Amino acid sequence: MGARFERGMAFAVAAMLLSPCAISHANAPGLAPAAAIATGEASYYADRFAGRRTASGEAYDPSDFTAAHRSLPFGTRVRVTDIGSGRSVVVRINDRGPWDKGRLIDISRAAANEIGLARRGRGTVSLALAEAEEAEAGQD
C-alpha cells in the first residue's frame, strides 16, 4: 500500500472522529471529556415554554439545568462556558433545537442565570463534554 492510500486512510479516520456523530456521543473514543466540541451562540428558553413537552418527552422545567441541541444524544451532559465571563454550567440535553439560524444551543433559564446569559438574552459559548464527576454534581 502506498503513501496515497495511507494519507487517504488517515483522512477517513480523522473525518470519522471529527464527524458530528462521533463528537456528539458522550463516550466518543479518543475524545477527552473536557475537550471543547463547539463554539457558537447560545440563547435560553422563554418562560412561556414551561411545562411543554420537549423532544425527549420530558416537560420543560425552567429550574432544571437542561438544554436543546440539534444532534447531541438525549442525556448527554455538556459543560457550557460563557466565553465573555468564563462562567460555566453543566446541562443535560433533553430537547432538539435551537431552530434560529446561527444558534448552537438553547439552555434553560436556570442555566442561563448561572452563567449570566439571562441578562443579555444570548451570548457566545463553548461546549465540552462533561466529565462523569461534574455531570453528577450538575454544575460548579
pLDDT digits (tens, 9 = 90+) for 118-127: 988 899 999 9
Number of residues that make up the chain: 140
Q: Name which of 112, 118, 117, 104 is nearest 139 in CA terms.
A: 112
Residue 82 or 25, more confident: 82
Res 10: pLDDT:
45
The rounded distance, in Å, linking the Cα atoms of 96 and 102 is 15
Strand partners for 29: none
**Structure-block grid coordinates of residue 67:** 438544554
